[in-house]
Structure formats: C-alpha cells, structure tokens
Amino acid sequence: MSHPLYVAFIWHQHQPIYKSYNGASVASGQYHLPWVRLHGTKDYLDLVLLLESYPKLHQTVNLVPTLILQLEDYIAGTAFDPYLTLGLTSTEQLNQHQKQFIIEHFFDGNHYTLIDPHPRYRELYESRQDKGKEWCLNNWTLEDYSDLLAWHNLAWIDPLFWDDPDIARWLEQGRNFTLSDRQRIYSKQREILSRIIPQHRKMQDAGQLEITTSPYTHPILPLLVDTNSGHVAVPEMSLPQQRFQWEEDIPRHLQKAWQMYTEKFGRAPRGLWPSEQSVSPEILPYIAEAGFNWICSDEIVLGCSINHFFHRDERGNVTEPELLYRPYRLETDHKDLAIVFRDHHLSDLIGFTYGSMSPTKATADFLGHLDGIRASLAIAECNPDTSKPQQSEACSGLEQPWLVTIALDGENCWENYSEDGLPFLQCLYQSLSDHPHIKLVTVSEFIEPFSPTETIPISQLHSGSWIDGSFTTWIGDPVKNQAWDLLSAARQTLAKHPEATEENNPEVWEALYAAEGSDWFWWFGEGHSSNQDAVFDQLFREHLSGIYRALNEPMPPNLKHPLVSLQVP
C-alpha cells in the first residue's frame, strides 16, 4: 500500500491569566491587560473559519483552559481591562494620567502590519513618533484621542471579518469616532468572541478539527514535580533556595483541564499539549492515568532522549527523517501513551520567517520542504542500510505511514504577516489541498490506525522543553529563582491548612493554580522582556497574595515589592 506524506498541524492558543483576584470570590477581579480580548478578535476564530473553507485539510488546535475561562468573562461582559475601560470612556472625562496612558500604550503591536495599513491610525502613530509624547499630550484634540481609542480595537479585528457591514463601515469612516461608535465596536468584539468555542466544537464534531488541552493554568509540570529537574539538561544551573516538590498538584491541573474540556466540547480529550512542550519521566503516569492518549514535544527532546543529534542538509531538512517523522510509544503502568515530536525548523519557518516573504514564495518554500522530506523518506525505505550507497531512482512512493508534525503558537506569529496571515494561509491551504501526495490529518487520525512501532523507555525520556531542551527559560536566573522561593513559601502555607479544600475554599486553590502558571517565570529576569514586565510581576505577586488572603494568613512583606527589587546587588 502506498501512503501520502501525512502532516499534522497543531496550533497552540494560550494567554496568561491577566485577571487578579481580590479575595472576595473567584468570579471577582480585574483584568490588567487586554490580550485575551484583542487576540480573541484577531487570531482564534478566523484560523478555524478559514480552515473550514478547505474541507480536505484536517488540523489540531490546542485551547488552554484558562484562555477559555477568560474568553467567557469577556463574552459575559464581566471582564474589564484598563484599555477597554478607557475605550468606553467619554473623551471629555479623560484626565491627564489617562491621556498619557493612551499615548503610551494604544500603539502596542507591530506598526507595519497593524497600524500602517490604516491611514488615520498611522497618522496618529507618526504624530507621536515625530513630535513626541509630550507634544501629543499638549496638542492632541479630543477627536484624536477618540479615534485612537477606536483604532486600537479596530486594527485588532481580523481581515476575515472586514466584510461585516458594521466593520466595513467603521473602516471606511476612518476618523471622527464617537463614544457610541466605540461602544458598538466593543459589542462587535464580544460577538466575535462568542463564536470561538462553538465554531471549534462544530468543526471537531464534523471531523475536520481535533481540539486538545493543556494543564489548567499552563504550568511547567516537570518543575512542579521537582525544581531540581532543571539540572537534567543544565547540571550547573543555580536553583532556588527552596526546593519545590508538589507533584500532587499535577493531577489537579489535569483533572480541571479534563473537566472543562468535557463541559465545553461534549466529549473526552485525546491529546494533551504539555505546557511549553515540557516533559519528563515523572509526569507521564499522571497524564496516562488522567486518560489522555497522546502528547507532543520538540525534536530536541527526542534527540536528547535517543542520544541523537539531528543533522540538516543545506535546505534545512533533517538527514535522518525516519527518526523524527513518526510517533513513539511511552509505556506506563496505567496505559501506553503516544508522543509526537515537532519539526522545529519547519514550525519556526511559519512562526518567524514566512511573514517577510510573499505568500507564493513562502508556500513554494514550505511545499519544497515537504516534498524533500517525502523524497528522503522514500530513499530511507529503499535503503535501510545506511552504510550502502543510496539509490533514489526507484524510490518514489512511501510504503510506510510517516507523520510530519508542525506545532507552534497560533497567535503571535501572525502580527508579522500582512493581513494577519490571511493571504499566506489561503495560498498554503489551496496548494496543500491540491497536492496529490500530502495529506493533512489530526494527530489522533494518524495514531489510531498507525499506532507507534518504536518505544522510548520512560526512564530514557529527556526532561526538557522546546527551548534548547532545557527549563532555563523558567528557572535558574536569580529573579526566576526568587519567584520560585515565593511560590514555595505560599504552597507550604497552604499545605498547613488541610481544611482548605477546593470545595470549601476554591479561592485559595485558584490563586495557587494561577501562580503556578509558566508565564510569570518566562518574563522574570533575563531572556525575555516587554514593556509590561512590571504588570506580569504585579500579577504574580497578586496571585500569591490571594493564597494568604484566602487562608487569613499574614501577608509576607516581600510580596509588596517587585521581584527585581528583592535581588541582592
């Protein structure tokens, strides 16, 4: 039997928890940043709606549970972030501080793709860039502020929705937006957000989509088991003073993810996206016991697990394709798990490179890689003995099923593409639909008929993530380690209150889960930075404070100060 080259796209949709809890109830709290709302109108619904136009193409989308929770708050009208509040404020009521905030933050985003295509938005941006923030503060009119408040929301609406009569009218209008206009734009945002989960469920029920989930708040599971797991990849790493070992929190995160998934999608999940594709031997039994069938990680984790460095040819294709493009079996006492490893290079081409190329050139390059992979796999089938010369002439078809996994962030990369990636995806999807030797499948569609034939012993699975095969993005830096020590102290305090169960004190557990999320540690210290680092610092400390508040315990004084100020010079 001859096989096409099977390709599995996995899009990862995730945002940190931007909501802080005031201790009164889980439902209360304010959102500090607008990115769930803005990415919700730009990146989630359009991705699957476009796919629906190409029924031959099947894909997998990962929706992190806390993203779903935050979307629901906005849909219900109970979520208000500072950006939204200002957008719904009459410009006559804006004070000096609010105007400064608008000038500073309402151009956040890639100005080439989000601002420049819109003349009025570009005009305001160039005014700030050319004349300075202070000049804008002293000279802008109320109409300037109102237009900027409108455009910050309009520009984040995906081009797929620009033919909506209301959106088309606002885009044509361009300027002189009123408070009533801005209120209607907000209503349109909620309308788009309300379609996201139903559309995903509809397409999964139709068989074109597989939806997966992640641990509840996107924690790095191996580090919840033991922060010393950081030493596996980096033996010389400096670790926190307090060793964090709370593996009993892992089933809690998995159970909450499972429960939410079944409530939203009416079925059990099959796949789990481990946060940041971070895996270790210790987390596998919990994943298997929870009921999941497969997980995904990165090629560098595979290489470390089988003690193999993946070489690539001059075009960037791996020279040992038979090792990467297949699922592997992980045997646990509960059940076997399948694991797929993404092609890091191909995923990064979509994530970081193709945005600067024309859609046709990017598509041709991508298909060239897939055709090259297919040809190299055919040669590998014909020449299993690599010590003998390869004969490619008679090796044209594939006699075995092979799976190329492309897995990446489904949100942030599109800011680097014109029209949010729409022309590129249309070109790519049409070409993939027409290709006679490539078939796009969900991961489960592949592993169910073609179960793994190769096994990685659990003890041999590398402890690491997609970033350099290590955990250095989340631990090892002095500020990151300080954050782990603060989390350890809060977790130990909770452990002293066995009466505080999830049933009678859900606030404390929600605060803990939020603090265990990976995103705070991503932004702390060296490695990553943004103009909102202080907000992430504040959110982390607010989540920790919520633990003490819910337990009526004294608040540690160091939670009142930014983490960077806690470092010893």
The per-residue pLDDT for range 366-425, each reduced to its tens digit, is 999 999 999 999 999 987 765 555 555 557 789 999 999 999 999 999 999 999 999 999
Query: pLDDT above 90 covers what percent of the chain?
Result: 92
Reference 325, options 406, 255, 259, 384; nearest CA is 406
Domain stops at, among 178, 196, 214: 196
Beta bridge partners of 295: 272, 339
Q: Is the pLDDT of residue 469 over 90?
A: yes
To the nearest 10°, the Cα dihedral for 356, 359, 365, 371?
A: 150
Residue at 426 is within a domain? no
Cβ atoms of residues 294 and 452 within 8 Å: no
Confidence band (pLDDT; 50, 70, 90) for 528?
confident
Among 25-29, 30-34, 304-308, 326-330, the range scoring the smallest mean pLDDT is: 25-29
Stated as kind and residue range, the H or E segment containing 408 is strand 403-409
Q: β-strands 59-63, 328-331: how paired?
A: unpaired
**pLDDT score of 76:** 95
Beta bridge partners of 406: 9
Distance (Å, rounded) from C-alpha 361 to C-alpha 431?
12
Query: pLDDT above 70 covers what percent of the chain?
Result: 96
Cβ atoms of residues 372 and 317 within 8 Å: yes
Q: Residue 409 — φ and ψ, nearest 5°?
A: -60, 130
**How high is the mean pLDDT of the chain?**
95
Reference 221, options 546, 13, 513, 19; nearest CA is 513
Region 108-136: mean pLDDT is 97
**pLDDT score of 383:** 78
Residue at 241 is within a domain? no
Region 480-487: mean pLDDT is 97
CA distances from 350 to 45, 63, 441 (A): 19, 19, 18
**pLDDT score of 2:** 92
Q: Which residue has the tokens 């606030």?
A: 507
Beta bridge partners of 176: none
Give the global pTM.
Answer: 0.96
List the structure tokens of 447: 């592993």
Domain count along the chain = 2
**pLDDT score of 526:** 82
Q: Is the pLDDT of residue 238 over 90?
A: yes
Confidence band (pLDDT; 50, 70, 90) for 21?
low
Cβ atoms of residues 62 and 254 within 8 Å: no
Confidence band (pLDDT; 50, 70, 90) for 26?
very low
Residue at 515 is within a domain? yes
Q: Is the pLDDT of residue 224 over 50?
A: yes
SS (H, E, C) 391-403: CCCCCCCECCCCE
Domain stops at, among 196, 223, 249: 196
CA distances from 307 to 22, 65, 337, 515 (A): 49, 34, 21, 35
**pLDDT score of 393:** 52
**pLDDT score of 109:** 92
Residue at 322 is within a domain? no
**pLDDT score of 25:** 42
Residue at 141 is within a domain? yes
Domain stops at, among 196, 213, 242: 196
Cβ atoms of residues 464 and 232 within 8 Å: yes
- Please report the DSSP string for 427-459 in residue order: HHHHHHHH-TTEEE--HHHHHTTS---EE--GG
Distance (Å, rounded) from C-alpha 346 to C-alpha 362?
12
Q: Which residue has the tokens 């300037």?
A: 144
**pLDDT score of 530:** 81
User: By three-state DSSP, how is residue 404 classified?
Assistant: strand
List the structure tokens of 526: 């060296």
Range of the domain at 142: 19-34+45-60+62-196
Q: pLDDT higher for 281 or 567?
A: 281
Residue at 157 is within a domain? yes
Confidence band (pLDDT; 50, 70, 90) for 568?
very low
Residue at 252 is within a domain? no
List the structure tokens of 173: 């209008």
Residue at 254 is within a domain? no
Neighbours of 110 (CB within 10 A): 14
- Which residues, at least 6 apart from 390, have a Cβ–Cβ distance to it below 8 Å? 379, 382, 383
The region, left, alpha or beta by phi > 0 then psi within -120 to 50, assigned to residue 564 is alpha
What's the pLDDT tens digit per position in 174-214? 999 999 999 999 999 999 999 999 999 999 999 999 999 99
What's the pLDDT tens digit per position in 284-296? 999 999 999 999 9
